Chain A
Amino acid sequence: MEHNFIDSKLLRKMLSSGLDELLSQKEYINNLNVFPVPDGDTGINMSLTLKGGIDSFMSADKVGVCLSKFAQGTLLAARGNSGVILSQFFKGFVKDTEGLDVFTIDSFIDAISNGRDKAYESVAKPVEGTILTLMRDASSFLLANRKDFVTFENLFSKLIKILNESLQNTPKLLPVLAESGVVDSGAAGFLAIFKGMAIALDDRILSSISDFDKTSQSSEAKLFDNLENNFGYCTEFILRLHNKEDFSLKSLTRFLESIGESVIAIQDEDVIKVHVHTHTPDNIVKHVQN
């Protein structure tokens, strides 16, 4: 079945599906978090923000009434940089929807545009290569092509492609992402929400977009490939032994080889010089301290 309007029941289903998709990618999105502070909580923050809105979404008759509660819910629950910007997006999204019974394609596109405007307004120094860029690109694309959309399925099918391209482009706009070999975490969360909304409309939408899953996962793969191939941190230190009679260079080397590669361990009297490549340098330090 194809839809040329969205009522409150379908809207709730779409937003809930957006949350489900976000939750399913929560850890992946957390791991992408390098900007502005690499505290690894973007996925959690965005899901809690969106959940706050959905929990407040009353299944009333009119879309406008539901959205008002939804936006208020996201505002109060919003946390973290991306969560707060997302809540501001939704604040703008609902701006002219008060009297709406249902979303038409036109009113939905206007809501996205209003969401983009409010999100940009709310940030003192907007940074491109972030969630803001996806909001901007979504809005620009929809406004430029609004006459081409006949159904919401058609709209979401094209929008998801655009959002994915925009996401893959974020490292080109924000150097810290390129240095870390990741896409922006907030932007990835925003795409996840719209993916989920698309699935609620018609779960065939995503499978119709060729190479979508490969490209969206390529950033994660790249991040972990780097760690797998280069074995993490180059770790070098000098160890002074309290009691060299109790020490076995062979045991130390065996331990280092079990958690790293490129191992060099040289003993000179009570001084040991160590070089190893490892993901977990702190485990090595703990081991030698004991």
Chain B
Amino acid sequence: MSFVIVPDTGCDLSKDLREQLGIEDYVRGIIYFSEDKEEFSSLDWEKMTPEEYYSSMRNLKNPYKTASTPMGEYVRVWTKYLEQGIDVLSISISSGLSTTFNEACIVARDLMEKYPGRIIRCVDSMRYSTSLALLVKLACDKRNSGATLEETVEFIEKSKGSIHQMGFMDDLNFLCKTGRISNFKAVMGSIVSVTPLADFNSRGMAEVIGKAKGRPAALRATIEYIKKTIINPEEQTIFVAHSLRKEWAEKLATSIEETFHPKEVILNDVGMTCGANIGPGLCCAFYMGNPISETMEEEKAILAKCIEETRQ
């Protein structure tokens, strides 16, 4: 193996998936379960189940808080490969959400001075949570097909703008509380029976581009939107992620299987780090589609049509 792919904790890849993809380690983030106690976040739910985690959020006065990863964590993970003569491809959570990518670049520069001859390439995924999981999986598949480090980086850069999200969130208040959305439109999306639907924008953030009336309508519009934006669905692995919405995630997964007959559909929990900022109530599909437009006007128009066509 000439290079390893190392994502960070924003990738929400389960232990099983990481094993399948050959990802031995990842860069952990920091999470505060109480105001004065910080811990490294984990992708593996040792402390509590996803249901316990998201259920507990409803009763909290202050949300769980995440914090930047200490540089020592990058050194911990990357150094063991560099010392074995293995190069590193680091895939970071979206720079629209976190400064992690900038920090990774600085650490990479430092370590390449310390290990001359070794290469660390850092990529800003412009995605987070399960969309980042999909990008990491695609990168691993590319590497496993024989691509070099540079070819894999080029592939990621070309592909990341085509990774779509479509689905709904019950409640955008957590994003407001944790500073991820400062726009008051996030709060307006929380009004009773209005279900915001979001896809990724050019800044690497999920942006609400339409609203359906209630979850059944949102699910129908989601399927129609995917139909109009997906490419080669039969060849794809499509992810469906949720935070405390398992029943709806299963409905969405079944609907995707019946409509698109993809290679596989993988159900995924939103992980602790992303979940601290997203909160409970998310149910979304993640897939490869047409490149997302700069202003999202095309995507908004497509979704508006989908909502109209599926209104009952």
Q: Tell me whether A22 is interfacial, beta carbon within 8 Å.
A: no
B106 touches A79 (CB 8 A): no
Bound: A233/B182 CA distance, A: 11
A79 and B98 contacting across the interface, CB-CB below 8 Å: no
Residues in A with CB closer than 8 Å to B105 are 124
Do B71 and A79 touch (CB < 8 A)? yes
Q: How large is the interface on B (under 10, 10 to 19, 20 to 34, 35 or more residues)?
A: 20 to 34
Find out whether the CB atom of B190 lies under 8 angstroms from the CB atom of A77. no
Residues of B within 8 A of A79 (CB): 30, 67-71, 103
The answer to whether A75 and B110 have CB atoms under 8 Å apart is yes
Q: Count of A-B contacts with CB under 8 A?
A: 91
The answer to whether B75 touches A235, judged by C-beta atoms less than 8 angstroms apart, is no
Q: Chain B residue with minimal CB distance to A124?
A: B105
30 contacts between A and B (CB under 8 A): A36-B95, A36-B99, A39-B98, A40-B179, A41-B67, A45-B67, A48-B70, A75-B71, A75-B72, A76-B71, A77-B71, A78-B103, A79-B68, A79-B71, A80-B67, A80-B68, A80-B99, A81-B103, A87-B71, A122-B106, A122-B110, A123-B102, A233-B184, A240-B192, A281-B187, A282-B173, A282-B187, A282-B190, A285-B187, A285-B191
Task: Please tell me if the beta carbons of A88 and B106 are within 8 angstroms of each other in the complex.
Answer: yes
- Is B109 on the interface with A (CB-CB < 8 A)? yes
The docked-state distance in angstroms from the alpha carbon of A97 to that of B176 is 46
Cα(A240)–Cα(B105), bound, Å? 51
Q: Could you say which of A37, A81, A235, A285 has the most chain B C-beta atoms within 10 Å of its C-beta?
A: A37
Complex-state Cα separation, A217 to B29, whole angstroms: 33
A84 to chain B, nearest CB (A): 5
- Complex interface residues of chain B between 64 and 105 (CB less than 8 A to chain A): 67-72, 75, 95-99, 102-103, 105
| 7 smallest beta-carbon distances between A and B, as pairs | A76-B72, A80-B68, A79-B68, A81-B99, A78-B71, A84-B103, A79-B70
B188 located at the interface, meaning its Cβ lies under 8 Å from any Cβ of chain A in the complex? yes
- List the A side residues contacting B96 at CB < 8 Å: 37
- Bits for B92-132, please: 1 = Cβ < 8 Å to A, else 0: 00011111001101110110000000000000000000000
In angstroms, Cα B107 to Cα A78, docked, is: 10
CA distance A39 to B69 in the complex (A): 13
Interface 0/1 of A105-129, CB less than 8 Å to B: 0000000000000000011100000
B176 to chain A: which residues have CB within 8 Å? 282
Bound-complex Cα distance A122 to B71 (A): 14
At the interface, yes or no: A145 with Cβ under 8 Å from chain B?
no
CA A44 – CA B68 in complex, angstroms?
10
Determine the residue in chain A with the shortest Cβ distance to B99.
A81
* Inter-subunit contact A83/B68 (CB<8 Å): yes
Question: For residue B186, which residue of chain A has the nearest CB?
Answer: A282
CB within 8 Å of B: which of A79-107? 79-81, 83-85, 87-88, 91
Decide if B179 touches A38 in the complex (CB within 8 Å). Answer: yes
Minimal beta-carbon separation of A91 from chain B (angstroms)? 8
As a 0/1 sequence over residues 176 to 200 of chain B, the CB contacts with chain A under 8 angstroms (1 = contact) are 1111101010011011100000000
Neighbouring A residues of B191 by C-beta, 8 Å: 237, 239, 285, 289
Q: A76-B75, A233-B184, A289-B192 are in contact. Are A84 and B106 (CB under 8 A)?
A: yes
With A77-B72, A78-B70 already in contact, the answer to whether A37 and B99 are too (CB < 8 A) is yes
Please, which residues of chain A bring their CB within 8 A of the CB of B190?
282, 285, 289
Chain B CB count within 10 A is highest, among A44, A239, A240, A282, for A282
> Are B179 and A84 in touch, CB under 8 angstroms?
no
A88 surroundings in chain B (CB, below 8 A): 106
Which residue of chain A has the shortest Cβ distance to B32 in the bound complex? A44
Task: List the B side residues contacting A40 at CB < 8 Å.
Answer: 179
Contact of A77 among B70, B106, B187, B188 (CB under 8 A): B70
Most buried by A among B98, B102, B191: B102
Chain A residues near B69 (CB-CB < 8 A) = 79
Residue of B nearest to A280 (CB): B187
Q: Once the chains are docked, how many angstroms separate the CA of A44 from the CA of B176?
A: 20
Please give, as numbers and ranges, the residues of chain B lying within 8 Å of A36 by CB-CB distance.
95, 99, 102
A282 to B175, CA, bound (A): 11
Compute how far the CA of A89 lies from the CA of B69 in the bound complex, rounded to whole angstroms. Answer: 19
Chain A's closest residue to B72 (CB) is A76
How far, in whole Å, are A45 and B106 apart by their CA atoms in the complex?
16
B153 to chain A, nearest CB (A): 15
- CB neighbours (8 Å) of B102 from chain A are 36, 81, 84, 123-124
- Write out the residue numbers on chain B whose beta carbons fall within 8 Å of the beta carbon of A240: 192
User: In the complex, which of the residues B69, B70, B182 has the most CB atoms of chain A within 10 Å of its own CB atom?
Assistant: B70
Chain A 26-47, CB within 8 Å of chain B: the 1/0 string? 0000000000111111001100
The residue that B71 contacts in the complex, of A37, A84, A237, with Cβ under 8 A, is A84
Task: Find the B residue at minimum CB distance from A75.
Answer: B71
- Evaluate contact between B67 and A44: CB separation under 8 angstroms: yes
A227 to B133 CA separation, bound complex (whole angstroms) = 40
Residues of B within 8 A of A38 (CB): 179, 182
**Is the Cβ of A123 less than 8 Å from the Cβ of B71?**
no
Measured CA separation A39–B65 after assembly (Å): 10
Q: List 4 other contacts, CB 8 Å, given A39-B98, A76-B70, A79-B30.
A: A77-B70, A80-B68, A233-B184, A285-B173
- In the bound complex, residues from chain B placing their C-beta under 8 Å from that of A122 are 106, 109-110
CA distance A144 to B281 in the complex (A): 58
Distance of A122 Cα from B103 Cα, bound (Å): 10
Give the chain B neighbours of A45 by CB distance below 8 A.
67-68
A274 → chain B, closest Cβ, in Å? 11
